[in-house]
Amino acid sequence: MILPIWGLIDQVYYHCNRLQFVDRLEDNIFRVRITRYRGYPLQLRDGTKIEKGDLLVKIHLHNYSLVKKMRHLKSDVRRALFVYEAVKQSLPGLANYLKGHPLESQVKGILGVTVLNRGVRRLGFDTFNLKHPLYSAWKKSYMVPLTAICHGDFNQIFTGKYEPKYLVMGKETLFDLYSDKSMGEK
């Protein structure tokens, strides 16, 4: 019953946040927009420095699509692996999207905010805490219940287990790991 309502809310969210699909035909789970970074300075392990005002591709998971695909999965482990694989399979499309974007030369990397941040270093992401308490509280206020809906476990809302974090990857790391030229080398 929640899914049809969520579908309507998702369409409004998509348009209000000026998001673009990376690639609908390839079933890419990312929706993105180019944005200026407004947080504290970040030093990535690849040497990239992200500072206030830098251009980034802000990534948003298409949660509605993911939940529709995961409805049949009963185990939290299987759901987590499903999301991990969906992100991994979508990153090459994101690399191609950025390579073809008119602002590519000015973009420093990609950034997302999520409570689903376990195992993301293997994908090339660095994680950082959200330092601003109000921003962190705002993100947590809707991300944790959303995660509970996805997992069907509403007890986790009250556990404090999920904390939103920045997921950041430098542009060169994205290209090195996920561009067409390196996909054949894996």
Phi, psi of 33 (to 5 degrees): -155, 150
- pLDDT for 7 equals 55
pLDDT at 178: 96
pLDDT of residue 172: 96
CA distance 183 to 41: 31
pLDDT band at 31 (very low <50, low <70, confident <90, very high): confident
Is the whole model's pTM more than 0.75, yes or no? yes
Tell whether the model's pLDDT for residue 98 goes beyond 60.
Answer: yes
For range 32-56, the mean pLDDT: 95
What are the beta bridge partners of residue 35?
A: 56
**Has residue 159 got a pLDDT over 70?**
no
**Higher pLDDT pick, 69 / 177:** 177
Token pair, residue 22, equals 């990376």
Question: Residue 9 above 70 pLDDT?
Answer: no
150: amino acid identity, one letter: C
For residues 129 and 37, which has the higher predicted lDDT (pLDDT)?
A: 37
Mean pLDDT of 56-72: 80
Q: Can you tell me the mean pLDDT for 76-91?
A: 88
Of 31 and 7, the structure prediction assigns the larger pLDDT to 31
Q: Which amino acid is at 91?
A: L
